[in-house]
Amino acid sequence: MKIGSLACVLVLVFLHTAPTPSFGQYETRLWNSYSIGLPVAKDLGLRGAYMKSLDLSDSPVSTSFNWYTLRLNYKYSKDWSFEVGSAWMNLPQENKTTWRIMAEGTHRMNLDRRLVLRNSIQLESHNRQENRFDYRVIYSSRLGFRKRLDFLKVAPSLTYALFYNIGGAPIRYFNEQNEEIARKASNGLHRGRIMANFNFKISDPIRLSIYYMNQHEFNLVLSQTNKINVLNPNTGRIQRPFTNQHIIGVSLSYQLKGNGGEGFLPINF
């Protein structure tokens, strides 16, 4: 099965099986990010980025996190590229900083004269400050144009990503009689993101992306003991509540010649 066909199958499975969240409401975030790409050697580039997330649902507006990343990109061929890197997320309201290392592989496939499909898989390992998971696998698929449109030199794209969690702090599960039946990590698919992005070429080194992203968390009912958003009947509190968000983002990137990168787009983090 081709990678493009696999992407379509995964998205269709999600759309047909993911239930409507029984708890949780949507919050609104504003993400502002800046990045710079530097050439290291032929087909090898380094990119650093910073992003600030503002919680527009709070009054007054508050900072939900500050995010920093450094990645090394290798363009293996016209169709394949690979990245390794690390990222730090500072959560001021929780007074902690999480850290992760990650590796990603991306395949590029021309669908016709105008459209191109990019599919990627990212593997992550997290430190102990991240209690929702120890490891994570992220699959993303991005559909875009091979060349920029003449109108405003814009490159529109549509991306969907699925997040698979492994490990993390255990969740307590209860039966209908409010008896505890399990205490374990909530391994499984629990998050999806869809992004509509418009990337503008301001000048040769400068790109500006304006995007909207919908983040939705869910439970695939494959097992009653791998869920998140679980009610503890003894306390009346929700364990690991859904984090559903409407996200409006602006990303500015500076790309030095010779690197060949595409800038920073925060879909898979």
* pTM attached to this predicted model: 0.89
What pLDDT was estimated at residue 21?
Answer: 41
pLDDT tens-place string over residues 4-43: 444 444 444 444 444 444 445 899 999 999 999 999 998 9
Report the DSSP beta bridge partners of residue 253: 35, 207
Query: What is the radius of gyration, based on Cα positions, of the chain?
Result: 20
d(CA 243, CA 100): 20
Task: State CA 237 to chain mean position distance.
Answer: 27
Helix (H, G, I), strand (E, B) or coil at 206: strand
Most distant CA pair in the chain, distance:
64
Which residues partner with 51 through β-bridges? 33, 67
Nearest alpha carbon to residue 119 among 135, 138, 147: 138
Selecting from 1.10.3470, 3.30.379, 2.40.160, 3.30.70, what CATH number does the domain 3-255 have? 2.40.160
Backbone angles phi, psi at 36, to 5 degrees: -140, 135
Mean pLDDT of 241-250: 96
**Boundaries of every domain in the chain:** 3-255
Q: What is the pLDDT of residue 204?
A: 86
Which of 214, 213, 197, 212 lies closest to 262 in space, CA to CA? 197
Answer whether 63's CB lies under 8 Å from 53's CB.
yes
Q: Is the preceding omega at residue 60 within 30 degrees of 0, hence cis?
A: yes
Q: In this predicted structure, which of 17-31, 92-106, 181-195 has the lowest mean pLDDT?
A: 17-31
**Non-local CB neighbours of 60 within 8 Å, separated by 6+ positions:** none
